[in-house]
Structure 1
Amino acid sequence: MDPVTALVVSAIAAGSVEGVSDTAGQAVKDAYAWLKNVISRKYTNVDVSALERRPESESKQTSLAEDLEVAGSQAMPSLVRQRSPY
């Protein structure tokens, strides 16, 4: 898994864990929602819901990474460079 894909997968896993906790700051929740939105717009065949349901699962993380790579991981740096409000 390339470093950028690893970063995105880690962010989704961490965001889904933190997003459901009462202690997560609004900025964390907003950033997570922004990342999911960008992925859903840019990679329409990639579904993050399995990782959201089981964020600790290495197999779900690997599966999302594979889906992102198949969808065009070469374009992944552009996803990270997109303007984030955070």
Structure 2
Amino acid sequence: MSYWTAIVVIVLIVAVASVMRSRQSGSDRLRQDRDQGPSPRETQLKNEVEELRERIHVLEKITVDGREARAIADEIESLREDQKQ
């Protein structure tokens, strides 16, 4: 094996070891994140999504309650007035 071939082989070994080390440290970080549980921001966002789902459910009830369009429009207007106060 010539001198240059040995250098190329050494460089390849170092490159492969570097890639493997970076992958290992990345998976360690992911594992630590999973072990810590949800962050406060995630918990806040989940609560907000749940509240929005409940609001959508209420709006769906209002719209498909079998009432006429005018009654629905009146109810929406009264809700808007309540929010302004």
TM-score bucket of the superposed structures, by smaller chain: under 0.3
Highest CA radius of gyration, 1 or 2? 2
TM-score normalized by structure 1?
0.27
Greater RCO (Cα-Cα under 8 Å, separation 6 or more): 1
More helix by share: 2
